[in-house]
Each structure stands twice: as C-alpha cells, then as structure tokens.
Amino acid sequence: MVETISWDDFARVELRVGRIISAAPFPEARKPAYILHVYFGPEIGVKKSSAQITNLYRPEDLIGKLVVAVVNFPKKQVGPLMSECLVTGFVNESGDVVLCVPDKPVPLGSKLI
C-alpha cells in the first residue's frame, strides 16, 4: 500500500535538476558506488553525493548527464564522504539503479513540479 502524504509534505521536498560534473569510484563505500559532484546552477552550486550505480554506468559516461536530486536533505556521512544531496533513481528487474533523468533539456536548478 502507498502511504498518503499531504501536498505540503511534497512541496517541502526540493527535487532539482543538476548536471554531473565529476564522477569517480568510491572504494571506501560498503557497496560499489561512485562519488558524484552535481552542479545545480548558480543559486545552489555544486553538491556531492554517493550513488550505487556502478552496474549500469561508467564514470566517464556520467559526465554532463542531467539528473534529478533532492537538495534539501540534511548532509549525511557516508564513509569518508559527506553527502549533500540524494540523486534519484529506480531499481530495475535486476536490482540495479537506473538514474531518474529529464528527457529534454531544462535549466539547471529547475524544481520538479
């Protein structure tokens, strides 16, 4: 069953579009992951995140990719990394994470509405 939330609950979540500007292996992570640096435009700037997407993506293929991320969670310590945003994705039939991405270009920092 899907839990019901209010519109106000949803409106507080800042889901924004950013562009991956760097991606590197994160060997200290418990599960295989990359460290991503995502630029959300001049208002928000660059935020770091850990992403368990190594089965479907190579670091060099992630550079320049638009992604959707939650930018208003509190920072979270992930091993030696202080994660500053949550890059979103969906789990496929194989259990791998597929990134949530806009299918057309939009301005960096745009909010999901």
Q: What is the pLDDT of residues 78-99, one digit of tens each?
A: 999 999 999 999 999 999 999 9
Domains delineated in the chain: 13-99 (2.40.50.140)
Strand 76-78 versus strand 81-83 pairing type: antiparallel
The reported pLDDT for the residue numbered 16 is 98
Query: How far is residue 71's CA from residue 13's CA, in Å, rounded to a whole number?
Result: 8
Instruction: Tell me the CA distances in angstroms from 84 to 24, 94, 95, one per residue in order.
Output: 16, 28, 24
The reported pLDDT for the residue numbered 77 is 94
CB 19 within 8 A of CB 66: yes
The reported pLDDT for the residue numbered 39 is 98
The distance from CA 77 to its chain's CA centroid, rounded to whole angstroms, is 15
The reported pLDDT for the residue numbered 54 is 97
User: To the nearest 10°, the Cα dihedral for 101, 84, 31, 97?
Assistant: -10
DSSP three-state, residue 10: helix
Please give the angle made by the CA atoms of 74, 76 and 79, to the nearest 5 degrees: 170
Q: What is the pLDDT of residues 30-87, one digit of tens each?
A: 999 999 999 999 999 999 999 999 999 999 999 999 999 999 999 999 999 999 999 9
The reported pLDDT for the residue numbered 60 is 97
The reported pLDDT for the residue numbered 78 is 93
